[in-house]
A and B are shown apart, each in its own frame.
Chain A
Amino acid sequence: MVNDPTLNLLVGKISDILDTTIEKNVREPIRFLVNWGRLYSLWPVHLETACCSIEFGAASGPRHDIERFGMLEAFGSLRQCDVLVVQGTVTRKMAPRMKWVYEQMPEPKWVIAMGACAISGGLYMDSYNVLQGVDKIVPVDVYIPGCPPRPETLIQGIIELQNKIRKSKV
């Protein structure tokens, strides 16, 4: 009975139909809903690695007001954060700490490399104590250039990240 080729064909056909139905009618709305929920409540970790934190602070201020784009203020526990914004230079002493912080964050999580130093070492590329780009220790989703990036640039980077989340699979 089990080895009947006709039945196998039938079962295969049914599972194909079910797959497309689920993909279209169940998974797609769920994916949309989950990503929509994640998009506008991004909690950044309060980990200041260097001087770009000033511009991050200015972006949370009233003029730029990063919250209207769905990026909350850099407060809250590590366990409820989903974005790690690397704010500038990462030194040899900070690098292992930053990796620990990243590993302790729950999935899903994203990393933004803010500033020239986080991208490639920037101005401190030939310093003896500076990591040449943060993507060597954590996977980076969005790079924001500038030294330091203006708050407007930071906001654009966050919108880029949201576009990325919008397209991601669940």
Chain B
Amino acid sequence: MQNAGMNIEDKGGDKLVLHVGPQHPGSGHFRLIITVDGDYIVGAKPDPGYVHRGAEKMAEYRDYIQNIPHLERPVIIDATGVTLPYVLAAEKIIDVEAPERAQYIRMIMAELNRVISHLYWLGIYGIFLGHSTMFMWPMGDRELFIDLAESIGGTRVTFSYVVPGGVRNDMPTHFKERALKTFDYFEKRIEEYKKIFFNNPIMTARTESIGIMSQADAIKLGITGSNLRAAGIDSDTRKDEPYCLYDRVDFEIPTRKEGDSYARCIVRLEELQQSMNIIKQVLDLIEPGPIKQVIGGVMRGEPGEAFVRTEAARGTMFYHIVSNGEKYPYRVKISVPSFRNLIGMTHLLVGSKLADMPAIYWSLDYWPVEADR
């Protein structure tokens, strides 16, 4: 299906080049140069880099703790998801280990951030498909999760909460009651989301069999995260290479075989439930104790390298830190899932109809700021 329009080039006819973005409702902070032949897209060339702020270079002249705030800005909706792998890698370099309670709180924050990020994605996807209610509902429910995260982290989105050696401060009392109350409410809302959006014939008509990514393509293009799971591969870094204490909790990896836009949506919706299940289990497992291993003086690592891979909201987030024993890291390489989603997007767009572009584009959850770093 996805290659149905591939032969359109042979048919001849006038081709038109369209520039989508950077000023365009929904295009975000990047430009897409599309060649169309009639209704079909015959060429898609991305032009990213509008938000390239040099995070990797900046990490070379900031010390390990100063790096955290600017490294979380690229993925502001998933602030813990992007700083957690950095902190885990820095801990390997500095040679400290966070106490058990801190590991659990990190898991709570990571999962809360996953929910916040997915709900933002869902709201914008509603707008992309012209469904205003689906913008308002997730945006409203997202605020409840932001409140929960704010009660732990202190700010709405940029927490800078996870630091080498543990977490910045302890959870508030009565967090468990508040969290369970929110989850009870939100579990009912998920059913309503399904009624109004996911089982809506207009939505299914616009997303089913649109932008099909086959298993082989997904592997070849290096797609990670929910997009990979929607293509039928149950790969999740939380299960494959457990970090923090993910091996102690029990959760499922939602997968779909279809690999189309609808599968990518429904996988994310099911991940919301799984994230809440993880937090519930962690809240039962967590015990009082220290939250931080205090590091005296300036953090200074041994010469060496550290690789850490975690599962952020959009997929696998990978950090490679090289240290030469100085106060500052020698090199920080960030490999983000969004950049691979961009590669996947150009692959999916070629051969599809122009009208399907919004449905394909945002179903991949491509976040330009993250891709540009």
Contact = CB atoms under 8 A, between A and B. Distances in A.
Contacts of A5: none
Contacts of A78: 23
A63 B140 CA distance: 6
Q: Which of B22, B49, B53, B369: most chain A CB closer than 10 A?
A: B53
B50 A94 contact: yes
Contacts of A50: 29, 51, 53, 73, 369
A47 B21 CA distance: 9
Contact of B156 (A45, A124, A150): A150
A61 B119 CA distance: 12
A49 B74 CA distance: 12
A61 B53 contact: no
B282 interface: no
B325 interface: no
Contacts of B29: 48-50, 53, 94
A101 B21 CA distance: 11
B54 A130 contact: yes
A109 interface: no
Nearest to B69: A123
Interface string B62-101: 0000000110011011000000000000000000000000
Contacts of B146: 58
Interface string A46-61: 1111110111011011
Interface in B33-59: 49-54, 57-58
Contacts of B28: 48, 53
B70 to A, nearest CB: 5
Contact of B76 (A51, A74, A101, A126): A51
A47 B28 CA distance: 8
B139 A127 contact: no
Interface in A58-99: 58, 60-63, 74-76, 78, 89, 91, 93-94, 97
B131 to A, nearest CB: 14
A124 B58 contact: yes
A101 B31 CA distance: 14
B53 A124 contact: yes
B175 interface: no
B23 A89 contact: no
A147 B159 CA distance: 11
A93 B120 contact: no
Contacts of A94: 22, 29, 50-51
Nearest to B49: A93
B53 A129 contact: yes
Contacts of A148: 76, 157-158
B139 A123 contact: no
B132 to A, nearest CB: 9
Contacts of B142: 58, 61
A147 B158 contact: yes
B254 interface: no
B124 interface: yes
A148 B53 CA distance: 16
A126 B58 contact: yes
A76 to B, nearest CB: 8
B139 A62 contact: yes
A61 B74 CA distance: 22
Given A46-B23, A123-B69, A128-B57, A93 B139 contact: no
Given A49-B29, A129-B53, A54 B24 contact: no
A127 B120 contact: no
Nearest to B28: A48
Contacts of A101: 23
Contacts of A51: 51, 73-74, 76, 369
B136 interface: yes
A124 B74 contact: no
Contacts of A93: 49-50, 52
Contacts of B259: none
20 contacts: A50-B73, A53-B28, A54-B76, A55-B156, A61-B139, A62-B136, A63-B140, A74-B25, A89-B53, A91-B53, A93-B49, A93-B50, A93-B52, A94-B50, A97-B50, A124-B58, A127-B57, A130-B54, A148-B158, A150-B156
Given A46-B24, A51-B76, 12 more contacts: A46-B23, A48-B28, A50-B53, A50-B73, A57-B123, A75-B25, A76-B25, A91-B52, A91-B53, A94-B22, A126-B58, A150-B156
Interface of A: 45-51, 53-55, 57-58, 60-63, 74-76, 78, 89, 91, 93-94, 97, 101, 123-124, 126-130, 147-148, 150
